[in-house]
Amino acid sequence: MTKMPFTLPSLPVSHVLPEIGEALAGSSRAVLSAPPGAGKTTLVPLFLLQQPWCSGRIILLEPRRLAARAAASRMASLIGETVGQTVGYRMRLDTRISAATRIEVVTEGVFARMILDDPELSGISAVLFDEFHERSLDADFGLALALDAQGALREDLRLLVMSATLDIERIAQLLGDPPVVLSEGRSFPVEIRHGDRDPGERIEDAMARAILEAHRQETGSILAFLPGQGEILRTAERLAGRLPPETMITPLFGNLSQKEQDLAIRPAPAGTRKVVLATSIAETSITIDGVRIVIDSGLQRLPVFEPSAGITRLETVRTSRASADQRAGRAGRTEPGIAIRLWHAGQTAALPAFTPPQILASDLSALALDLAHWGVQDPADLAFLDPPPAPALAEARQLLRMMGALDGEHRLTARGKLMRGLSLPPRLAAMALAGAEQGQALAACQLAVLMTEQGLGGPDVDLDQRLKRFRSERGERAEAARQLARRLAESLPKAERSDQPVEAGALLIHAYPDRVALQRGARGRFVMANGRGAELPETERLSASRMLVITDLTGRAAQARILAAAEIDRATVEAELAGAIERREEGYFDRPSGQVRARKAVRLGALVLEETPLPRPTGQQAAEALADGIRQLGLARLPFSKDTDQLRERLGFLHRTIGAPWPDVSDEALLARLDEWFVPFQTGRSGLDSIDSGSLSEGLRLLVPHEVRNQLNRLAPTHFEAPTGQRHPIRYDGDEPVLAIRVQELFGLKSHPAVADGRLPLLLELTSPAHRPIQTTRDLPGFWAGSWKDVRADMRGRYPKHPWPEDPAHAAPTHRAKPRGT
């Protein structure tokens, strides 16, 4: 194929392009590490397109649609073309390619389907995995499939893994130690600053304050990173009317339309500035011209899947050091910049090195279905950087067997092949097939597409209302979604069309039988068939419903809020899920009395449809019923003593700072493991009033592996022994351990107190002889040498009976006043 003559601009990555070319000329695999702003996303594909071995297309994987569109647009402009000619993109609901397209920018999920449908990747010369450090499930799976296909079918296929922040050793080992190319250049320098946030201050308030200060003191546009849509909108509210009219405030998150996202990344008009409030969507692969200030909240929202409940929830966590570097790099794309981090400089070392791989905390049902299609029974047969967790994979396969998609040997059934061909999550694919069998193929596919595309049909919780609006919604995206639904419906087995009214709940029950929910007493409070509680505000119409099918929730187990649901009646539940309804004798927790009872029940999972009282249970049955009560009421109902609370805080601190094997003791984690730490110590109890705190402490200690239990007091001691010999409690209830102590007791101490084998300094809350705050510090020697002079001058007058030496580092510690007469 004739090579296209074009000249590439000079960017920091330019100096290693020949090295990349040589690496892929002599090897089929390579790794590129280049800092943010180096130009790897746009220059590397265009450079490789001109290499002698590149006779076919180049596939460039991007983690997000916004990044894919932006990368394609930038590359097309560099060679004087429009998107869809030499450079195009392919993603769900939006594709711009032509017969002339040589570089296809695709989202990672699209590539996984491409290679699953065509393992030889016909006509493709190279696959480039951009921003691989984000470690999405689709990227990990796509690379594993590409390596497998390369080894068995396409030895000539080139694979290049690229990122600004890579765990290079692990990646290179996975790829068989190929050439590794390092680009050290950055477009422009970035100055890192820190703005410590008070732990009690809301992130929206801290961010608004930092934005206003940076806007006043610096020039250029601002990119602010916040964990989610809610924080972005609240920050925008706080900024409203407080910035000059020539400064635009633009949000940037996944639930916005393409037009709104493009507005956010478009350069600010001449003479104006822009404040972009973004989620991690803006971390990689896009350049927002004019941005020279980045303000990082240090937070991100990650999906966490709970296999036992079949629910994925979003959890706000601290960002990784890799992500913090990516975010800071956004400030140096077009000119020297500033990155302001809303945390103390010393806390950066405690951040995790990388964002946890999505494969370790995801719903693996789609992966299990695709593995079966690829013919893989054991994931170890593929080169995963992190193998899928066995428990989550087992749960996924159990769900697929229940849906009839897999047989007992994890092989695809005929129904499974139909489900996989729909390009929908397995639950929704099962719903589409069931809908087709009932003559409601189009309605089921419309509902499935609606649920996979954020924002369609509006924000209503009621999916019946959203489906109704979606059918008449205007706009290119809505029409593209309806066309996709029509194509999906046409691919389904034909059945006589039903004239019955379409009800979302009757369709959704085939996707979420475990999330059928029953109102449990109060309006807006529900319990699902999987045992989890969920709530709706009383003002929502659905809050008065007797039964729902819930499809989306947010928040922790004890306070999950329903985001999307549909009404359903008991007759439909009994008709559609007859095989899942059980009749049995059981112990249960009686919420009004706080006692355990027994009954003969007719139930669907955790839902009791009918019951007859029986004598009170004892032993294991009673303990399990009591545990169920705690799941309903939350851990706050347990009689944790002060010592038990401190034990839990210490364990939580070790889990946050060290990780495994120290257990997660958050409310959610402990609720999920009640059978391990709670039930064994409650077999003699009959109600909440009979639980004692000692049994709770014993249970918590049981969660700590035996081999590290004796390290608890060394790594996270309960007290600090001052030079005076006095013992003072250490608090572990915040982001860092805190010691409140009178300053005189630290005289003579020349090093700063620390825990975790000296790795983490205590935050010292230094107090006066009257126990009133004087100062906080993470650097005691620095305090002695610096601000002690001012403190001493102030305190000597207030407390003349107490010693205030000029050189406290060499003074004798004391917890008493000076002797009389001195």
- CATH code for the domain of 29: 3.40.50.300
CB under 8 Å to 399, separation ≥6 — which residues? 310, 365, 426, 427
Separation of alpha carbons 630 and 680, rounded Å: 14
Any domain includes 625: no
Q: For the chain, what is the radius of gyration of the CA atoms?
A: 30
Are the C-beta atoms of 774 and 766 separated by less than 8 Å? yes
pLDDT along the chain (822 residues), means of 10: 70 93 95 86 95 96 90 93 96 91 94 94 96 91 96 95 83 94 81 87 94 94 93 94 93 82 84 92 77 94 76 84 88 88 90 88 93 94 94 92 91 94 92 93 94 88 95 89 92 78 91 93 90 91 95 76 93 90 87 90 88 87 90 90 90 87 90 91 86 90 88 90 90 88 91 87 90 89 89 86 88 76 50
From CA 268, how far away is CA 740, in angstroms rounded? 49
Same domain membership, residue 342 and residue 218: yes
Assess contact for 355 and 300: CB atoms under 8 A: yes
Q: Are 63 and 139 in contact (CB under 8 A)?
A: yes
CB 605, CB 531: distance < 8 Å: yes
Q: Which two tokens stand for residue 400?
A: 């697929």
Rounded-to-integer distance, Cα 509 and Cα 553, Å: 16
Are 388 and 379 in contact by the 8 Å Cβ rule? The answer is: yes
The position carrying tokens 């001052």 is 722
pTM of the model: 0.71
Structure tokens at 713: 């007091």
The CA distance from 688 to 637, in Å, is: 8
Structure tokens belonging to residue 241: 């009317």
Q: Is residue 426 within 8 Å of 405, Cβ to Cβ?
A: yes
- Angle, alpha carbons 807-813-817 (nearest 5°): 100
Domain that holds residue 672: 636-714
What's the one-letter identity of residue 669?
Answer: A
User: Which residue among 714, 742, 768 closes a domain?
Assistant: 714
Q: Where are the beta strands (DSSP E) in 513-580?
A: 516-519, 525-528, 533-535, 547-554, 561-567
Residue 95: inside a domain = yes
Q: What's the one-letter identity of residue 503? A: E
Domain identity same for 695 and 726? no
Indicate if 87 and 206 belong to the same structural domain.
no
* 197, 226 Cβ separation under 8 angstroms: no
Six token digits for residue 70: 């932006």
Q: Are residues 152 and 204 in the same domain?
A: no
411 and 379 Cβ atoms separated by less than 8 Å: no
Which one, of 775, 743, 651, lies nearest residue 704 by Cα? 651
Within a domain: 677: yes
The number of distinct structural domains making up the chain is 5
Task: Look at residue 151 and tell me if it is in a domain.
Answer: yes
Mutual angle of helices 65-78 and 258-265, in 10-degree steps:
60
- Enclosing H/E stretch for 192: strand 190-194
Contacts by residues 54-58 (CB-CB < 8 Å, ≥ 24 positions apart): 54/125, 54/126, 54/158, 55/1, 55/125, 56/1, 56/123, 56/124, 56/125, 57/101, 57/102, 57/103, 57/104, 57/123, 57/124, 57/125, 58/102, 58/103, 58/104, 58/124, 58/125, 58/126, 58/127, 58/128
| Statement to judge: residues 756 and 691 lie in one domain | no
Q: Residue 82 corresponds to which amino acid?
A: T
Q: What is the SS3 assignment for 132? A: helix
**Quick one: tokens of 651?**
């364990």
Domain final residue, candidates 165, 182, 199:
182
The DSSP secondary structure of 581-637, one letter per residue, reads EEEEEEEEEETTTTEEEEEEEEEETTEEEEEEEEPPP-HHHHHHHHHHHHHHH-GGG
Widest pairwise Cα distance in the chain: 104
User: In the listed set 182, 209, 227, which residue is the last one of a domain according to the structure?
Assistant: 182
Is 227:297 a contact under the CB 8 Å cutoff?
yes
* Contact in structure between 190 and 333 (CB atoms under 8 Å): no
Please list, residue by residue across 511-536, b when 16 or more beta carbons sit within 10 angstroms of its beta carbon and e when fewer do. bbbbbbbbbeeeebebbbbbbbbbbb
Q: How far is Cα of residue 319 from the mean position of the Cα atoms in its chain? A: 10
Q: Which SS3 state, helix, strand or coil, does residue 21 take?
A: helix
Helices and strands of the chain, counted as H and E runs: 27, 31
The DSSP letter of residue 778 is S
Strand, helix or coil for residue 560: coil
Please tell me the predicted confidence (pLDDT) of residue 461.
94
* 194 and 327 fall within a common domain: yes
Residue 416 lies in a domain: no
Assess whether 155 and 34 both reside in one domain: yes
Burial class of 587 by CB neighbour count within 10 A (0 to 12, 13 to 18, 19+): buried
pLDDT at 440: 92
386 occurs within a structural domain: no
Residue 659 burial (C-beta neighbours within 10 Å; 0-12, 13-18, 19+): exposed
d(CA 422, CA 445): 9
Residues 710 and 722 occupy one common structural domain = no
**CB contact at 8 A, 92 and 107:** yes
Residues 680 and 569 in one domain: no
Q: State how far the Cα of 186 lies from the Cα of 13, in Å rounded to an integer.
A: 8
Determine the residue type at 689.
D
How far apart, in whole angstroms, are the C-alpha atoms of residue 785 and residue 781? 6
**Residue 492 neighbours by CB under 8 Å, 6+ apart:** 418, 422, 432, 433, 436, 441, 445
Residue 14 pLDDT: 92
Tokens of 707: 């081999």
Whether residue 139 is found in the same domain as residue 35: yes
Q: For residues 715 and 729, what is the distance between their CA atoms, to the nearest angstrom? A: 14
Residue 725 token pair: 């010999």
- Through-space distance between the first and last CA atoms of the chain, rounded to whole angstroms: 96
- For residue 598, being part of any structural domain is answered with no
Q: 222 and 103, same structural domain?
A: no
Report residue 720 as tokens. 């600090």
Is residue 787 one of the residues assigned to a domain?
yes
Among 712, 727, 728, 719, CA closest to 653: 712
- What amino acid is encoded at 323 in this protein? S
How many Cβ atoms from other residues are within 10 Å of residue 307's Cβ?
21
Identify whether residues 25 and 133 lie together within a single domain. Answer: yes
| Backbone phi and psi for residue 33, each to the nearest 5 degrees, phi listed first | -115, 120
pLDDT at 445: 95
Q: Report the alpha-carbon distance of residue 211 to residue 221 in Å, rounded.
A: 10
Side-by-side strand order, sheet with 291-296? 190-194, 337-341, 291-296, 221-225, 273-278, 247-252
d(CA 407, CA 511): 19
CA dist 534 and 557 (Å) reads 8
pLDDT of residue 263: 84
pLDDT score recorded for residue 546 = 94
